Every structure is written in C-alpha cells, then in structure tokens.
Amino acid sequence: MSRYRLHPDGVQEEALLGHCGHARYVWNLAVEQQSWWTPARTRRSAPSYVAQCRQLTEARGAEPWLGAGSVNVQQQALRDFSQAVANFFAGTHQRPDYRKKHLNEGFRITGVAIAIHVRRLNRRWGQVKVPKIGWVRFRWTRDVPDCKSYRITRDRAGRWHIAFAAVPATIDTPGNGETVGIDRGVRITAALSDGRKLRCPRLSRKERAKLRKAERRKARVPKQSEAQAVERQKIARLRAREKDLRKDWCEKVSTTIARSYDLIRLEDLRIANMTRSAKGTVEQPGKNVRQKAGLNRAILAQGWGLLARRIEDKARGRVEKVKAAYTSLRCSACGWIDKNSRKSQAEFVCSNCGFSLNADHNAARNVAAGQVCIADPRPRSRAGGTTRRKVSSVREPQPSGIGIPSR
C-alpha cells in the first residue's frame, strides 16, 4: 500500500471521526451476530453479508444519525468483516473481535476512480475526495498509484493517514548469484552472513527519559482526568515516533537486501509464540513473568516480523525459510553442535575445531547454508511420547549443507 499523511481541518476531522464511528458501530454489530459470542442453547447461524446489508438498510431508515453517514463506508465495514471471518475459518488470521474507540479509528472507501477522486495541487500537496466530506488535503510524497480503493485511519497520536490499495512491484534480482543468511536477534537486529550487522533505531536517551516521565505522571494523576489525557497524548506521540523509525528502517534495509542478493534465507521464527506472556493461570502461575515481559518488549521493538514480511514482498520468490533449531550452536566451519561452544552472547568458539567467530555472524552463516534441523535424539516410548533421559549437549557433525556459503 502507498501511504500518505492526511491533513484535514477542524470541521473535516469531526466528519472523519463520524465515519470512523459508523464503521466501528456496524463492525461491532456484525461481531455480535456471530455464533461464538452467543450461548449454545440460543445459538443460531450468523447472517451472510447480503442479509447484513439488508439489515443495514433498515437500520439507516430507522436511525437518522446512521442514515446521515456514508453508505459506502458502512457497507465496506460489513464486507471487511465478512472477509475477516473467512480468513479466520481458513486458519490464516485470528478471530475478528470488537473494535474500540480511540484505538480502532478508520474506514475504507471502494469503487472510486483515482483520476477523478484524487488531484494534485502543487509539488507537495494533493487532495482526495471523501464521501459526505469533500476534498481533504494530504501530503504528496510520491505519485499516487492507480487503484480502486483507499483506507483512512487515525493513529493514537492523533495523526491521520490515507493508504491507497495497490500492490507494489517487486524488485528485480541483481543476477550476481549471491546467497545471504539473516540471523535476527535482540542485541543485533539482523546479522548477515557476509559480516554486516544491522541495528534497528530506537528513541534517543532524551526521548526515553521523556517517555518514562510521562508514564510516571500518567500513573499518578486521577483516572479519566484532563491531566491523564495530556500524558496519554505525550506517550502516544513518542510511541508513534519509535514506530515510524522502525518502519522506515525496515523499508530501507529490505530494499537494500532485495537489490543485493539473488537468494535470501531467513530463520523460520514463530514470533507470536516467542513473545507469548508467561503469566500463566491462577492455579499454575508463571515464573519470571516480569523478566519475560521485558524480553517480549525487546523482541517486538526490533521489528523482526515487519522486516521479514517486507523482504518477502520485495524479493518475491527469492526468500527461503530455514529451521532455526541449532543455528546458534552449530559451528559453521565443521558442523559440530555443542552448547558449550557458545561462550557468551557475542562469542562463539567451536569445542571441536577451535573455529572462532562472532556468535551472530556464525548463526547467519548456518542460515545461509540452509542447514536442516537434525532429528530429536531422544528415544520414543510406546505411547508415542519421549522418555525422560538426560541427553548430551554434543551432536555429531552435520555435513549436509554445512560450510561457508558461496558468494
């Protein structure tokens, strides 16, 4: 999607918030009609998209405030919900949930012609025609793609954005025959097999101090007060700046990698499982919950998922996923696996051949070689599980696919 900053005036902003409220209201009604939110004894099949459109027509006639809104915005909210339900049952997305005010502010417009609904004012500014509102200015940072829909959103920092739904073109292969492996970590965001180390930018020390100060003040002021709203706005602006830095870095790095290598190999990480809370339940509470929460925040701040997704989008068909097991414990020179070879977070010294290298660089070379995870050495019981037996940390060398990747 091509995204731009939207700059509405005061009256237009109120109208945009009204569209967001209508879309959120229709979405929440559609969620309420789903069978998983109703008791089993009163459960009925949920209405289809066509039936919900008929109900929307009746509701617009009965409620003047809803009828004053755009029917395009409200019907598109139902269409988006129908697609979200289909994605949930297909197993590709999570179950659609209720949307909240100040958190989920946005709507989508479809069936438009960009040549008619978008016009350029000068070198820096353009206008888009929004139903029931009129022409709204946005920052013209690049050419608007030819598409038939766009989405307007408002983030928690109060900024408006418009995104035109267009699939960007992929980057052509450089044709140099080079293969790169990328190891993702917390200290070093992306370590490449050619020795480069890339770090995702964070807030400056002064900005982090401002963020901590605003969080302390928010915790001390009365709830639902004006002072709390002010502190929330400060926090949202700093968080938005950190997010913008991360997204900008991921875009630039993914473009550089896609232009530099023919084949890109990444670890097949389950980030959602890695950042799952360790709180546990009341009967079985978790251990080291606060430490795990800090690790989760550190992982999410690196933008692992966004970086991998943008590389796959730009280098389509040239990205391979490699199993992450033993990539940090395997020697990239001889293939020996031993946990004692990992001396520290940054030092790797093979206990078999004495090969020494930075730990992240060594793991990236293993990823670039496309090594396959070895089988579980623990014996299987008759019931199909594994028997509890102490297993040595040393594994035999794995010669298949091991070695320095060809440049």
d(CA 110, CA 51): 20
pLDDT at 167: 81
Instruction: Write out the chain's pLDDT in tens, 407 residues.
Output: 688 999 999 999 999 999 999 999 999 999 998 866 566 555 567 889 999 999 999 999 999 999 999 999 999 999 999 999 999 989 888 899 999 998 899 999 998 888 889 999 999 999 999 999 999 999 999 899 888 899 999 999 999 999 998 888 889 999 998 999 999 999 999 999 999 999 999 999 999 999 999 999 999 999 989 999 999 999 999 999 999 999 999 999 999 999 999 999 999 888 888 888 888 877 888 888 888 889 899 999 999 999 999 999 999 999 999 998 888 889 988 888 888 888 888 899 998 888 999 999 999 999 998 854 444 444 444 444 444 443 345 555 554 344 444 43
Query: Within 13 A of 384's CA, how many CA atoms are on the CB side?
Result: 0
pTM of full prediction above 0.85: no
d(CA 37, CA 153): 27
**Rounded CA Rg of the chain:** 26
3-state secondary structure of 83: helix
d(CA 186, CA 202): 12
Burial class (CB in 10 A: 0-12, 13-18, 19+), 81: buried
